[in-house]
Amino acid sequence: MSCSGGLTLYINLLSAPARALTLLPRGIRAPYEEKNISFFKGEHKSEAYLKIHPFGTVPAVTDGDLTILESCTALRYIASKYDTSGKWYPADLASRVRVDEFLDWQHTKLRKHGVGYYFNLIFAPMINKCEPDMTLINSHKEELKKVDADMVRHFIKGRNFIAGEHVTIADLIAACELEQPMCANVTYSQPIMDYLDRVKSHIGPDYDQVHQKVRGFTKSMLNK
Amino acid sequence: MSCSGGLTLYINLLSAPARALTLLPRGIRAPYEEKNISFFKGEHKSEAYLKIHPFGTVPAVTDGDLTILESCTALRYIASKYDTSGKWYPADLASRVRVDEFLDWQHTKLRKHGVGYYFNLIFAPMINKCEPDMTLINSHKEELKKVDADMVRHFIKGRNFIAGEHVTIADLIAACELEQPMCANVTYSQPIMDYLDRVKSHIGPDYDQVHQKVRGFTKSMLNK
Ligand SMILES: N[C@@H](CCC(=O)N[C@@H](CS)C(=O)NCC(=O)O)C(=O)O
Ligand SMILES: N[C@@H](CCC(=O)N[C@@H](CS)C(=O)NCC(=O)O)C(=O)O
């Protein structure tokens, strides 16, 4: 697993931040290479991958000598370096604040409860060979209702996207994190569903393509 | 609680991100106004404050018409707009990645376990009128050991500060989040203690000044 000279994304389409990440070079038509890191084969904890990402989580990004471990950091970096339109991570400070604010907020809100719901429903029973902990799962589901409401009243409000009229890296993270629990039957308010539709149609066919694997996988796990 | 025209910080020195935030305008000598939001008087959930920060957490920042709800976003914004040295949030992408990567990482690692430890030891017993949950508190303490090790091997490594030779906004967050559990008897490895010494001497007297309140408060709570 050697770093090539150009932009390389180490991803797995079961991971929401990894899906968000791969949508960016596609959206800005930046050349990049994609390497799949299999969770089931334990590749994220392999010696080769730990040389790239010492904490063994997905995604990671390399670009020449530079390695980036965090998805939001990688999104900021790729947009800053490769997006010639300047729209995906706006330089104008007032717009940039809207993007950064969502990215900082989601770690302990949308992502926390989305992962809390999804992981405990889909992965924990498989890993620990036990029944799903429905009390825990339902508490995350309840928190996702507050997340939904907070996104509607603050982060989306009357706008098309988080920072205004163009999809930014904040919307990539938002949409991919919202989609994950939705694969496992979480439902959202109409404003969130409308927002997701706008993101999807702004991005085009890549949107469903990157979500195909997680949708199929989740369905198969729920029907086991 | 009306927004003045210039930079206004709504803070409380018991809050680690609020302490980090107030150290920035001091460090870059940017004019700003500071308003204390009392947790004990419930001012963070008051009608007046909720008009500024709809989620009712501290800190918040206003600058003219702009309101910023997340500390890391506010740090990025203030440095980008007011730091003429360009050192506190470096524009050079390779250095900026080091700053952003730490800021993204700490939400679910250093801060999560620091708050998990401190809140459950100091605040939860007071709020819920019960004994501290030592199993939970000790699990966060164990996680803080991993956080310590990960900071040493990845974020600090052989460097003086997270992005190299100058303190950045990442070090402000790192130091203030590390100090909080330390007030309540958590200990760190020697490399972390040395790092904290470097941050402290780089910042000067403001460092101890902003930490005075939380140190005194914690001591009084532990000796009750
Ligand atoms: N804050 C990180 C989160 C990365 C993360 O938690 N990735 C998950 C997949 S979505 C993972 O690799 N989990 C495997 C593990 O933690 O062992 C980011 O945004 O990049
Ligand atoms: N991610 C936020 C965290 C803010 C936060 O959780 N603040 C705490 C104090 S450190 C707070 O206001 N807690 C009161 C509450 O949640 O009601 C930031 O970095 O600004």
Q: How far apart are CA A99 and CA A106, in angstroms?
A: 11
As a dihedral over the C-alpha atoms of residue B209, residue B215, residue B216, residue B217, rounded to 10 degrees, the angle is: 120
Q: Does B54 have pLDDT greater than 90? A: yes
Task: Please give, rounded to a whole number of angstroms, the shortest distance from the CA of B161 to a CA of chain A.
Answer: 18
Q: How far apart are CA A72 and CA A124, in angstroms?
A: 26
Q: What percent of chain A has a predicted confidence (pLDDT) above 70?
A: 98
Selection from A172, A182, A187 nearest residue A219 by Cα = A182
User: With helix as H, strand as E and coil as C, how does chain B read?
Assistant: CCCCCCEEEEECCCCHHHHHHHHHHHHHCCCCEEEECCCCCCHHHCHHHHHHCCCCCCCEEEECCEEECCHHHHHHHHHHHHCCCCCCCCCCHHHHHHHHHHHHHHCCCHHHHHHHHHHHHHHHHHHHCCCCCHHHHHHHHHHHHHHHHHHHHHHHCCCCECCECCCCHHHHHHHHHHHHHHHCCCCCCHHHHHHHHHHHHHHCCHHHHHHHHHHHHHHHHHCC
Tell me phi and psi for residue B177, to 5 degrees.
-70, -35
CA B42 to the chain's CA centroid: 20
Task: Please give, rounded to a whole number of angstroms, the shortest distance from the CA of A104 to a CA of chain B.
Answer: 7
Can you read off the two tokens belonging to residue A193? Answer: 């569903």
**Does the beta carbon of A15 lie inside 6 Å of ligand 1?**
yes
Q: Does A47 have pLDDT greater than 60? A: yes
Longest dimension (CA), chain B: 50
Tell me phi and psi for residue A62, to 5 degrees.
-120, 150
Confidence label for B5 from pLDDT (cuts 50, 70 and 90): confident
As a dihedral over the C-alpha atoms of residue A121, residue B109, residue A155, residue A28, rounded to 10 degrees, the angle is: -90
Q: Does B4 have pLDDT greater than 60? A: no
Q: How far apart are CA B4 and CA B21, in angstroms?
A: 18
Q: How far apart are CA B117 and CA A177, in angstroms?
A: 27
Instruction: Give the B window 178-217 contacts with A, CB below 8 Å.
Output: none
pLDDT the model gives residue A5: 80
Selection from B64, B60, B55, B82 nearest residue B73 by Cα = B60
Do residues B186 and B141 touch, judged by C-beta distance below 8 A?
Answer: yes
Q: How far apart are CA A170 and CA B33, in angstroms?
A: 30
pLDDT single digits (tens) A184-202: 999 999 999 999 999 999 9
pLDDT the model gives residue B179: 98
Q: Does B139 have pLDDT greater than 90? A: yes
Place of tokens 């890993």: A127
**Cα four-point dihedral sign A36, B107, B126, B221:** positive
pLDDT single digits (tens) B30-49: 999 999 999 999 999 999 99
* Parallel, antiparallel or unpaired: strands B7-11 and B33-36: parallel
pLDDT single digits (tens) B15-25: 999 999 999 99
pLDDT the model gives residue B16: 98
- For residue A51, list chain B residues with Cβ-Cβ distance below 8 A: none
Of the candidates B93, B101, B153, the beta carbon closest to that of A81 is on B93
Q: Does B2 have pLDDT greater than 80? A: no
Interface ipTM: 0.97
Do residues A171 and A207 touch, judged by C-beta distance below 8 A?
Answer: no
**Average of per-residue pLDDT across A67-87:** 98
Q: Does B224 have pLDDT greater than 90? A: no
pLDDT the model gives residue B1: 56
- For residue B97, list chain A residues with Cβ-Cβ distance below 8 A: 66, 68, 73, 77
Place of tokens 């038509």: A29
Instruction: Give the B window 62-81 contacts with A, CB below 8 Å.
Output: 66, 68-73, 76-77, 80-81
As a dihedral over the C-alpha atoms of residue B58, residue B63, residue B66, residue B67, rounded to 10 degrees, the angle is: 10
pLDDT single digits (tens) A113-133: 999 999 999 999 999 999 999
**Average of per-residue pLDDT across A150-161:** 97
**Does the beta carbon of A114 lie inside 6 Å of ligand 1?**
no
CB atoms within 10 A of CB A103: 29
Collapsed DSSP state (helix, strand, coil) of residue A50: helix
